[in-house]
Amino acid sequence: MTRITTIETLDRIGEKATVAGWAETVRKLGKILFIDLRDKDGHLQIVCSPEQSALYETAKSIRPEYVIRVTGRIAKRSEKNVNKKQPTGAIELQPEQLEILNTSLTPPFEIDNEIRQASEELRLKYRYLDLRHERLRHNLRVRSDLLWFVRNWLHERGFTEIQTPILSKSTPEGARDFLVPSRLQKGRFFALPQSPQQYKQLLMVAGVEKYFQIAPCFRDEDARADRSPGEFYQLDIELSFVNQEEILQLTEEMFTQMVAKIFPGKHVTTTPWPRLRHADVMKKYGTDKPDLRQNKEDNNELAFAWVIDFPLFAKQTKDDYFYGAGDKLAPSHHMFTAPREEDIPLLETAPEKVRAYQHDLVLNGVEVGGGSIRIHRPEIQEKVFDLIGFTKDQKKLFKHLMTAFQYGVPPHGGIAPGIERLLFAILGEKSVKEVAAFPLTSEGRDPMMDSPSRVTPAQLRDLGLRLDKN
């Protein structure tokens, strides 16, 4: 008999069915054994009677997290035994066949009781067990639904989904790169992309006009609650012949419909979303990520807002090792952000006063995305490079982009909401790690795979590398 999932049994009352999954709990009440079977959709109670001697003996040997398959009749529970907390709480399966497909060691933490929380190290070491918790399984399902929604929404509006390279070039863009040594070109390195920023701008040069992808991004930076070290994903969107307001309107429309579809229990505080000037929010809230919820205890309230009119530059700090040296400026967003048209003359006289066509999307006090209108005129890009102190050698790293900009670049811009940050804020989770399948620890390690790991001397020789003994 073909296996069905636990939620599908609701349509099979009085019929025979086969289910399979994990035995979450096994308990005995008198002589009756109750097995709570768990699969991807939920739970189903299996009731084993001692009158079924062979089946009952098999049932007695089952322990938590054993994998089992059961065939039997789906029956209604008596009124007093209905569990209203479970979608299948009004039914049970009366087994006729019971098979143990695989056994399990005792898990290092309880699967059916997440309140007794294990440490982060233990949870990530046994992440495949941690993901059996209902909350995390729900988060992964919601993530999948969100990606499905935005993909279809953008496809319906004429966007082309394009995958840009993972092996790319190391350029000074903001964070530390993850470097990948080349075996065929010894002494040279690829870099994993911090974002597809230059590729999406080159796609605009290519005439794609409306591009998106669910882009993996890699940044060698420290962890915090809303940022996981190493890898994250963003919804990368870029358009040609567009102004800032059109980008804001498109994003707002997409996410408003997404919330209504996927998070019907949530409500958006204000529509249309507020557009706040950077100088004003800094003066009023002391942060460029204000939490505008009316009731900050309400987890179902979503206070979206736009912050605009950022300064194009900020003062360079000692941490800005990837820019120039000395008394120079650093990009407030990134070096490809366009200055407001009316402020372009100030690049020569008072660059610290120049405002940018930058827009940050804020949700409940979390920056969940950022974007801008990009520089499309080569002379302005060259001027920005000079103002942030780029040397001739640093400019050469962007030769490919500046060459492309000589062949007719349309005005363009976009936005890149972070998938993990967006879900983290909507779901009210305590960390972005709770909405990713296999995140790293705060120290940038994967205790499950034991990575990063050492490699063999032979592998290093293939790459032309040798480790310093110190």
Are 332 and 385 part of one and the same domain? yes
What local confidence, expressed as pLDDT, does residue 438 receive? 97
Q: What CA–CA distances, in Å, run from 465 to 70, 178, 187?
A: 56, 16, 8
260/346 same-domain check: yes
Ramachandran quadrant class, 293 (left: phi over 0; alpha: psi -120 to 50; beta: rest): beta
Lowest mean pLDDT among 101-105, 329-333, 408-412, 459-463: 329-333
Q: 308, 332 in Cβ contact below 8 A?
A: no
Task: Quick: pLDDT tens for 20-42.
Answer: 999 999 999 999 999 999 999 99
pLDDT at position 228 over 70? yes
Question: Which neighbouring-strand residues pair with 7?
Answer: none
Query: Does any domain span residue 463?
Result: no
Distance between CA atoms of 16 and 74, rounded to whole angstroms? Answer: 6
pLDDT score at 325 = 52
What average pLDDT does range 242-266 have in this prediction? Answer: 98
> Can you tell me the mean pLDDT for 444-450?
96
- Do residues 302 and 421 share a domain? yes
Which pLDDT does position 322 carry in this prediction?
52
Task: Please determine, for residue 261, whether its predicted confidence score (pLDDT) is greater than 70.
Answer: yes
- Rounded Cα distance between 274 and 306, Å, is 6
Segment 396-432, tens digit of pLDDT = 999 999 999 999 999 999 999 999 999 999 999 999 9
Whether 355 is in a domain gets the answer yes
Res 193: pLDDT: 95
| Greater model confidence, 18 or 318 | 18
pLDDT category of residue 112 using cuts at 50, 70 and 90: confident
Specify whether 88 is located in the same domain as 150: no
d(CA 3, CA 245): 51
pLDDT 10s digits, 189-223: 999 999 999 999 999 999 999 999 999 999 998 87
Give yes or no for a contact between 194 and 168, defined as CB atoms under 8 angstroms apart.
no
Question: Rounded to the nearest 5°, which phi and psi values hold at 133?
Answer: -65, 140
Residues 144 and 88 in one domain: no
Quick one: pLDDT at residue 222? 82
Residue 470 lies in a domain: no
User: How would you class 220 by CB atoms within 10 Å of its CB: exposed for 0-12, middle for 13-18, buried for 19 or more?
Assistant: middle
Mean pLDDT of 116-121: 84
Q: Are residues 395 and 357 in the same domain?
A: yes
- What's the CATH number where 24 sits? 2.40.50.140
Q: Domain range holding 28?
A: 6-102
pLDDT in tens, 296-330: 989 899 999 999 999 999 987 665 555 555 567 89
Which residue from 343, 353, 333, 345 is spatially nearest to 279, judged by alpha carbons?
353
**Mean pLDDT taken over the chain:** 94
Given a cut of 70, whether residue 456 has pLDDT beyond it is: yes
Whether residue 382 lies inside any domain: the answer is yes
154 and 91 assigned to the same domain: no
pLDDT score recorded for residue 469: 80
From 81, 102, 123, give the residue that closes a domain.
102
pLDDT at residue 172, rounded to an integer: 85
341 domain residue, yes or no: yes
Tokens linked to 248:
């804001």
81 plus 141 within the same structural domain: no
Residue 117 maps to a domain: no
- Is 148 found in the same domain as 94? no
Instruction: Decide if 179 is inside a domain.
Output: yes
- Looking at the fold, whether 327 and 389 belong to one and the same domain comes out as yes
Least confident of 170-179, 325-334, 450-459: 325-334
How many domains, in total, are found in the chain? 2
74 forms beta bridges with 93
d(CA 114, CA 132): 10
Give which of 61, 38, 36 is closest to 47, Cα–Cα.
36
In percent, the amount of the chain with pLDDT more than 90 equals 89
pLDDT band at 229 (very low <50, low <70, confident <90, very high): confident
The predicted structure's pLDDT at residue 70: 98
295 & 422 share domain: yes
Specify the CATH number for the domain of residue 173: 3.30.930.10
Q: Is residue 218 part of a domain?
A: yes
Instruction: Give the pLDDT score at 227.
Output: 76
Residues 58, 324: Cα–Cα separation, whole Å? 71
Whether residue 400 sits in one domain with residue 343: yes
